[in-house]
Structure 1
Amino acid sequence: MALEKTFRAVAVGDGGDGRWAAAAGAAWPEAEKWLTDEGRTAAGADAARRLFDTRLPELVPVLERLAAQLDRGRLGETFLTQAAFRPFFAGCTQAAFDGVLLRNYDFPPEEVEGTFVSSNFLRPVIGSQDGMWGLLDGMNDAGLAVSLTFGGRLVHGPGFAVLIVVRYLLETCDTVDEALAALRRTPVALAQNLTLVDRERAVTVHLGPDVEPTEAEGGALACAANHQHLPVPEEQERVTNTGERLAAVRAVAESGDPGAVRRALLRPPLYRYGHEDAGGTVYTAEYRPAEGRVTYRWPGEEPWELSFDAFAEGSRTVTLGRRS
């Protein structure tokens, strides 16, 4: 079953001139449901803010600027720390090599913000926004790109939603090595896989509240789906086909041809249908961070390219699940 979704490209500057607040205010009624019950208490808010101040100190001025713009008091500030979020689990397949990162984001479409944002909080960053300032994937002006997937293990512990971790890496790191060092001191609440690429290196790293950051094997290729350890349990594979997807994307990535990976991501088994159920593929992104540009794609639709040099605000309604 196909359905329509509208995506927007929005430039928010440093977050202090009202542009970010206009979009955030509209998203707030749905977004604030992500907060845990504990996060709504004074003790929970204090703990979230302490964790943010201690582990993401460079972003503290941005947090305070955005919280003032959001104007939702302590609850808004706690939300923006992303240190008191309910668990959420996405799909996704991704591959990175030779300075290119390609990914599918799989999730229930109605729960995806659908905002491609250009910001300059600490530095120029472009990415797919969720959680009001977190990122599902993105790139910065230094030529670093980062993308997330769910790690497939149902564990939950103290730490940040991975959305704000992606934002933090892109705001503060120039290279993959710097990002890996930052991940070693940044607690993540759920099992997550991050794929990182710069001009010199690509790597997938497995994260979780119960494990140390671990680089996945893959040589010059960095590929990820929705598991961290093998073998994948039979029930998990039946529901998510994560093993099949990882094998498929790795096989095509070994060709070294980004075009071949791009085409594979737009068809099964990497492109996932069933958008009306657990959530199919919401978009395909191809980041070329050294060139400062990203292209979003959907089967049967015109691609949408955005860049640091040419970020044109606007909106586009696409049909998800179209069979091209």
Structure 2
Amino acid sequence: MSQQRMTFRAIDVGDGGDGQWAAHTQALWPVTEGWMSEEGRTPEGAARARKLFETHMPELVPVLDRLARQLDRPGGETFLTLATLRPFFAGCTQIGSDGTLLRNYDFSPDECEGTIVSSHFLRPVIGTQDAGWGLLDGMNDAGLAVSLTFGGRFVHGPGFAILIVLRYLLETCDRVDEAVDRLRSLPIGIPQNVTLVDPDRAVTVFVGPDIPLTEAPEACATNHQHLPVPDEQERFSRTQERLRTIRGAGADVAAMLKPPLYLSAYDQGLGTVYTAHYRPTEGRVTYHWPGESWEQSFADFAPGSRTVTLGEAA
């Protein structure tokens, strides 16, 4: 697979009120607005999304309202609930161990925002942003870190995109047990695996629209929840092979940057876009690509941009 170039940006949006978040999100709006479902574009769908958000994420309602005013786009408030997005399916490998969280995010580079955001909506949070204010992974100032992988089953139901769920957990929870308890009652639109780490515990849980929250045997996940995995799915995703590999390698950045954990099927939406290594007790995250890394922290967050090479060298 040929290599690709991609630009990542780091921005500090504060509480979302100074215009930086709005300018960034408005520039992306022509693309991200298209992620909203047809149901979400109706008055009835918008009302249901608002009610769902108010019911399950009341602490974030003032933030939602503030950001929607800043975004100032038709349908912006409904979009930002992330309760009306069309389903999306990604790859990913992740493991929590000894107070650290290590993950590969696998997706199409053309459809990945590539934004590292420092925010202070309810508390300090740093993470990889997508869909306005959702997070693919992140950490907060209490030492909690979370990340997601697709659960591998192509089912869809009413509920939130997991991106806003990770944001909610980091904004409102201090520890893994508290976050897992919150997850039990949150409706999730598609099957997802969530890995959570704090100074004392690491766990992976399976969630989805058709299953109760289930704790995985180990604090690691790829792209399945239940066995057996169909042969065709395994050939495409190598999910069981990757899980065996990450179990053996542990939280090893070098292993994440080479096959089978590092994927290069970018034209099929299954290539590694970045590797993120969170050390939440230190308030630090380092993003890795082949031959390059970029560290950010609560103590020294540096806005800017990096253009990096994705894919294995020929």
Q: Give the aligned partner of residue 274 of structure 1.
A: 265
1:264 to 233, 247, 255: 255
Deviations 1:112-158 (A, max 9, x none): 00000000000000000000100000000000000000000111001
**Residue type at the aligned position of 1:319:** T
**Residue type at the aligned position of 1:192:** Q
Q: Give the aligned partner of residue 242 of structure 1.
A: 239
TM-score by length of 1: 0.95
Paired residues for 1:166-315 under 5 Å: 166-218=166-218, 222-253=219-250, 258=251, 261-301=252-292, 303-315=293-305
State how far apart, in whole Å, the 1-side matches of 2:149 and 2:270 are. 14
Paired residues for 1:70-149 under 5 Å: 70-73=71-74, 75-149=75-149
State how far apart, in whole Å, the 2-side matches of 1:217 and 1:279 are. 25
State how far apart, in whole Å, the 1-side matches of 2:277 and 2:24 are. 25
Q: Give the aligned partner of residue 319 of structure 1.
A: 309
Paired residues for 1:20-39 under 5 Å: 20-39=21-40
TM-score by length of 2: 0.98
How far did residue 48 of structure 1 move?
0.4
Q: Give the aligned partner of residue 48 of structure 1.
A: 49
- Secondary structure of the residue aligned to 2:121 is coil
Segments of 4+ in structure 1 off by > 3 A?
A: none
How far did residue 190 of structure 1 move?
0.2
Q: Give the aligned partner of residue 160 of structure 1.
A: 160
Instruction: Number of aligned residue pairs: give it.
Output: 313
- Secondary structure of the residue aligned to 1:226 is coil
The RMSD of aligned alpha carbons is 0.9
How far did residue 274 of structure 1 move?
2.2
Structure 2: which 5+ runs fail to align? Answer: none
Do 2:106 and 2:269's aligned partners in 1 also have CA atoms closer than 8 Å?
no
How far did residue 230 of structure 1 move?
1.1
State how far apart, in whole Å, the 2-side matches of 1:9 and 1:3 are. 20
Deviations 1:214-268 (A, max 9, x none): 11012xxx11000001111111101100000001001111xxxx4xx11100000
State how far apart, in whole Å, the 2-side matches of 1:143 and 1:131 are. 24
